[in-house]
Structure 1
């Protein structure tokens, strides 16, 4: 069990001054100067947008919202943490007709945590519209889902396996679903999910709109695009922006020195919140135990935990009940916790895609972040290859790290 004893003043400190907007990176500040009113959205939706704290559209929102409102298919590539979720939820909510008791929009995501987070954004943005949002994921009560489907549902946020099960049982009726959004599309089109996705599409309205959003697009996405998308509008905001705002370092260590090195980082860095990644479930639990023994507050999360436990850890970490989270790659996709300013790869990832998604947990929505990689002798070739593939530089860690690089 993770240790949840975090000082109360730490929790409150997360809710203190927002980060200095002058320190936000241009992947969220370099806009065309549009306002949300420019898209002729319903007044009730605008109320939800402004109450959520959004002031002006980010670049991905500027590119995506007006096109999505026309009903055209979209293939959008943008860095994690730049406002992708609102880029597709705003046009989806705008197009819902609340006078009809039918599922009209569906958002597919690869993990339960992301489903819960995305559904919450939908509910907050659409609270004045009367749009009914349902979230359904594997590992939860099928009976509860069946009961919920007897009431009004306009938007479904789901993981693919569960919603396909409901559709095949004719419990979730998708024939009037005209907008299908796939977030973290690269993961959804991996061999694990793609056959399920293709079956699901056949349950949707033949005149459906399909919108794909991701930070990376492997070749599987190209094949899917050619088969299912009709002249999609391509948005690519990733050139030169892949890891903007995140300062990356490596520390060359022996395996047995890693915990000591981590302890040193904790004592020297000004951490708002950190996520520490390991390459296996066992190492996640062992490291969380070590960190707790060192006297630091620490949670852990991985795919083999009970879903109720995962939900509690995610909720408590997001609410600032703990400073550090040890995680497997379960937690790399789309999880948006703006207080996270430090990511530590306790185990270095095997490929550039995983590295990109892990490091993207810091520097959310244009704020600055820090990534520290603990590199063993066996990792040296992976380090070089990932630098080359991402066109980035991971520098040797200096004796002291300037706080201005990753703190407001």
Structure 2
């Protein structure tokens, strides 16, 4: 077990953090990363990928020897989080970790670079900006890690990565990690060719067994009402995911109008606002954190019980990463996707290849239920009351009919006599 191979002070730290065993991804990549191999690590969200690449990588870094390790992250929030973890473990090795995150004060970052950090964690855009300003030289970096590699190598970001890689040595080591890194393999091959080891432990990693997946049929025009109702459920707290930023903004305004404690995490916000929203969410001051796929990658917030998709995610990878915000390292959680008649087929098609059962859930009586309303305990009581009411009405109706029936023959008799007179009169006229 790799925990036994760690330095004594790290072993003590593992005990402090409650790590009694290492995860599959941590086990399989430790040796190849240590031995300078290029690695592609694929493992479910919440399975310990950050420490999987940081442990062997940090152990290779030499103190006071200049920049050696760069970790690229797909978002500011993930960058901040990874930098905090790297500092926590790096301080025991006398290593300096510098975060270079977009949205942060660039002058302050430039000032801190004078400390000559051995490790840099940052977003591609900010790192490239500092390189172009000649404030950062990365030619000495001999190991580059791409966390959430499939997202970093998408169009729009891969151009930054490619330009940065021109500044490093041809002998540099690369590590790529993600829950869905297989979709990035063509892009990875353009960087390292076929010279890499692929380690996919998805099938042997048991991290999301306690996460249940549901769909909730609800009219699209009433989605805000659904979110408002959910916020009143006991111990409810959720990541609420949107496909479109405009829809997120409109929904946030409506929920705040109804005094629901929510905030948003969006790409058009300042770093301070995003940090404040995350802080309040962590402190459980918010019931719902409204966001897009921006927050679907890497964020590790303990004990969040729900993920709500207000509509069907655009891709299977998006669904996987959103669901990965809960159920981390074996914790329980619930994923609910809101659908309508025309979108339920899209959800079933999207999740067809994912190995989990998709069930229907219902929202009423101030709670979630897997039982349709008409079969619930509450509804049975209402049904009994309704049946009693119907029985009483039937009895009243029977009494009324009885009275009417007694009167009816007389009415029919009068009509009959009238008809007979008319018939006779018509005959007389005819004659």
**What is the TM-score normalised by the length of structure 1?**
0.83
User: Structure 1's 53 and 200: CA in aligned 2 closer, same or farther, altered over 3 A?
Assistant: farther
How far is 1:391 from its partner?
A: 4.2
How far is 1:48 from its partner?
A: 4.0
The aligned length equals 365
Residue equivalent to 1:169: 133
What are the ranges of 5 or more consecutive residues in structure 1 without an aligned counterpart? 1-33, 403-408
How far is 1:366 from its partner?
A: 1.7
Verify the 8 A CA contact 1:350 1:382 in the aligned structure 2.
Answer: no
Residue 197 of structure 1 aligns to a residue whose secondary structure is helix
Residue equivalent to 2:293: 329
Verify the 8 A CA contact 1:189 1:221 in the aligned structure 2.
Answer: no
Residue equivalent to 1:251: 216
Verify the 8 A CA contact 2:231 2:287 in the aligned structure 1.
Answer: no
Distance in structure 1 (CA, Å) of the matches to 2:141 and 2:315: 36
2:151 is the alignment partner of 1:187: yes
CA deviation map 1:204-229 (0-9, x unaligned): 23321101001113544334225415
2:186 is the alignment partner of 1:222: yes
1:175-324 to 2 correspondences below 5 Å: 175-225=139-189, 227-228=191-192, 231-239=195-203, 244-268=209-233, 270-271=235-236, 273-324=237-288
CA deviation map 1:172-228 (0-9, x unaligned): 221221111111000011011112212222222332110100111354433422541
Residue equivalent to 1:344: 308
Q: Report the RMSD for the aligned CA atoms in angstroms.
A: 2.2
Distance in structure 1 (CA, Å) of the matches to 2:301 and 2:316: 22
2:3 is the alignment partner of 1:42: no
Residue equivalent to 2:353: 389
Distance in structure 2 (CA, Å) of the matches to 1:208 and 1:35: 25
CA deviation map 1:293-352 (0-9, x unaligned): 444422211111112211221233234333321112211111111221111112221221
Distance in structure 2 (CA, Å) of the matches to 1:223 and 1:255: 38
How far is 1:107 from its partner?
A: 0.4
The more displaced of 172-181 and 50-59 is 50-59
The more displaced of 82-91 and 198-207 is 198-207
Residue 343 of structure 2 aligns to a residue whose secondary structure is helix
Residue equivalent to 1:56: 21
User: Structure 1's 390 and 205: CA in aligned 2 closer, same or farther, altered over 3 A?
Assistant: same
2:339 is the alignment partner of 1:375: yes
Verify the 8 A CA contact 2:69 2:144 in the aligned structure 1.
Answer: yes
2:130 is the alignment partner of 1:149: no
Verify the 8 A CA contact 2:74 2:152 in the aligned structure 1.
Answer: yes
Distance in structure 1 (CA, Å) of the matches to 2:13 and 2:88: 6
Distance in structure 2 (CA, Å) of the matches to 1:202 and 1:385: 41
The more displaced of 215-224 and 146-155 is 215-224
Verify the 8 A CA contact 1:52 1:124 in the aligned structure 2.
Answer: no
What are the ranges of 5 or more consecutive residues in structure 2 without an aligned counterpart? 371-431
Verify the 8 A CA contact 1:136 1:145 in the aligned structure 2.
Answer: yes
2:27 is the alignment partner of 1:67: no
CA deviation map 1:268-309 (0-9, x unaligned): 4642x3111122223223323333444442221111111221
User: Structure 1's 353 and 299: CA in aligned 2 closer, same or farther, altered over 3 A?
Assistant: same
2:70 is the alignment partner of 1:103: no
Residue equivalent to 1:360: 324
CA deviation map 1:224-275 (0-9, x unaligned): 225415632211122376954320111112112223333343444642x311
Give the structure with the higher percent helix: 2
User: Structure 1's 60 and 233: CA in aligned 2 closer, same or farther, altered over 3 A?
Assistant: same
Distance in structure 2 (CA, Å) of the matches to 1:48 and 1:165: 36
Verify the 8 A CA contact 1:68 1:91 in the aligned structure 2.
Answer: yes
Distance in structure 2 (CA, Å) of the matches to 1:358 and 1:322: 19
Highest relative contact order (Cα 8 Å, sep 6+), 1 or 2?
1
